[in-house]
Amino acid sequence: MRIEGFSSAAIAAGIKYKERLDLGLIYSEEPAVTAGVFTTSQVVAAPLVVDMTRLKQGRAQAILVNSGCANACTGAEGMKNCLAVSRLAAERLQIDEGMVQLSSTGVIGEQLNVEAFEKGMPQLVDGLGPENFEAVAEAIMTTDTCKKTVSRSLEIGGKTVSFMAMAKGSGMIMPNMATMLAFVITDALIGFVELNDALKKAVDATFNRITVDGDTSTNDMVLIMANGRAGNPWIEEIDSPDHALFRSCLEDMLKELAMMIVEDGEGATKLITVRVCGAREQQEALQIARTVANSSLVKTAFFGEDANWGRIIAAMGRSGVKFNPDKVDIFFDEIRIVENGVATTTEAEAAAGEILKNKKILVAVDLKEGSGCEEVYTCDFSLDYVRINADYRS
């Protein structure tokens, strides 16, 4: 798949490691309507500070992204380096410097290797082509074991609108308003306010519902660029039928990417959906689901394929949400293992044990207090998670 007007490139610039793709560029021939969401951490990496300022104009033409160095907690020098690499890209691309969005992922606290950008920039820009989107998706991987791209198209007003998207992420994943890096390009004709609204809502329903280890990154960001080449009727009103179509397609894509991130969670062997229903409010359902999805004891039990629902209800109990434990039902897939707060049958427990051997598992909780319902997606907690993270920087 390709989207007219966009091209991409990736090279092995040697930013941290030798001979692996680590520098990527996504380029739009004309300024594209661009929206972004960024980490809510108090600690925000330098490139995100630059991006947020530049995005006030609602337009961008390039995304320059590197792995190997997060450029977070790097002080004035980190900011200077950001501006330096953005200038290098703008000069070579012959575009305005403010049209460059920057993105970085990797180790926190190390300075960016500007020399590597300088040396690589001619090759990078000269390599721009419509087929290299996948190469960029590879260049942004860190502990990811596979690259993550999706594409979609839909009809709006008789015109085909296309999307391509990529993401990376495997550890330090509990996005809050954003996730580890994700980039979307589309030829939709859409206003900035409408694009921004669609992105925020889609991210909230997808990336903001996943967790690998409960840690929110300093570099989380999602960007979407829309160049308008599809020639669809201008989407100029939030919640109009066309906007709803656009948003739903975007949400569907981001959901697929979000699931890819959880499935590729560091050391993960299982994808677990934690669904909490019957809460007094949706926010309370989310709070309980998040607490269960982040519990180390719940996650290690899943790794051990142990239907240890006691840990699930214990995590619910400390979530800070009031509920009546004597009304709680817990299901593993379709098997009700707990009814009104107590274990059902040994047959149910045995059946749940079988379900836990699967790669994808639904844990559904019914509080029977109201109609609030939410889902959070997580993975199990394995020996490999510890191995990966004990050795990450060595």
8, two tokens: 């991409």
Shortest distance, CB of residue 29 to its own copies, whole angstroms? 37
Pairing between strand 59-67 and 100-105? Answer: parallel
Tell whether residue 357 is a contact of its own copies (CB under 8 A): no
Nearer to its own copies, 128 or 313 (CB): 313
Nearer to its own copies, 56 or 393 (CB): 393
Of the candidates 179, 216, 273, 291, the residue annotated as catalytic is: 179
DSSP-derived secondary structure for 134-157: HHHHHHT-SS-SS-EEEEEEEEET
Using CA atoms, how far residue 40 sits from 52, 80, 86, 196, in Å, is 12, 23, 23, 17
* List of long-range contacts for 88-94, beta carbons under 8 Å, 24+ apart: 88/117, 88/118, 88/121, 89/25, 89/62, 89/64, 89/121, 89/125, 90/62, 92/121, 92/122, 92/124, 92/125, 93/27, 93/61, 93/62, 93/125
What is the contact mask toward its own copies in residues 87 to 116, using x (rule: CB under 8 A)?
A: --------------------xxxx------
Measured distance CA(337)–CA(331) in Å, rounded? 6
> Which three-class secondary structure state does DSSP give residue 19?
coil
Nearer to its own copies, 162 or 382 (CB): 382
Q: Which of residues 195-224 bind its own copies (CB under 8 A)?
A: 213-218
Tell whether residue 370 is a contact of its own copies (CB under 8 A): no
Nearer to its own copies, 19 or 347 (CB): 347
The residues that bridge with 339 in the sheet, in sequence order, are: 342
Shortest distance, CB of residue 105 to its own copies, whole angstroms? 12
Q: Which of 18, 19, 56, 75 binds its own copies (CB under 8 A)?
A: 75
Tell whether residue 338 is a contact of its own copies (CB under 8 A): yes
**Segment interacting with its own copies, rule: CB under 8 A, options 82-90, 162-170, 179-187, 385-393:** 385-393
- Count of residues touching its own copies (by CB under 8 A): 69
Spell out a b/e string for 34-57, using b for 16 or more CB atoms within 10 Å of the CB, else e: bbbbbbebeebbbbbebbeebbee
Rounded to 5°, the CA angle 57-203-315 comes to 140
Q: Which of residues 171-190 bind its own copies (CB under 8 A)?
A: 171-172, 174, 176
Nearer to its own copies, 22 or 284 (CB): 284
Tell whether residue 34 is a contact of its own copies (CB under 8 A): no
Tell whether residue 326 is a contact of its own copies (CB under 8 A): yes
Q: Is 179 a catalytic residue?
A: yes
Measured distance CA(148)–CA(169) in Å, rounded? 9
Shortest distance, CB of residue 220 to its own copies, whole angstroms? 10
Measured distance CA(310)–CA(98) in Å, rounded? 54
Measured distance CA(252)–CA(246) in Å, rounded? 10
Q: Which of 14, 16, 52, 73 binds its own copies (CB under 8 A)?
A: 73
Residues that bind its own copies (CB under 8 A): 39-44, 70, 72-75, 77-78, 107-110, 171-172, 174, 176, 213-218, 294-297, 300-301, 303-304, 306, 308-311, 313-319, 321-323, 325-326, 338, 340-343, 381-383, 385-387, 389-394
Residues with catalytic function: 179
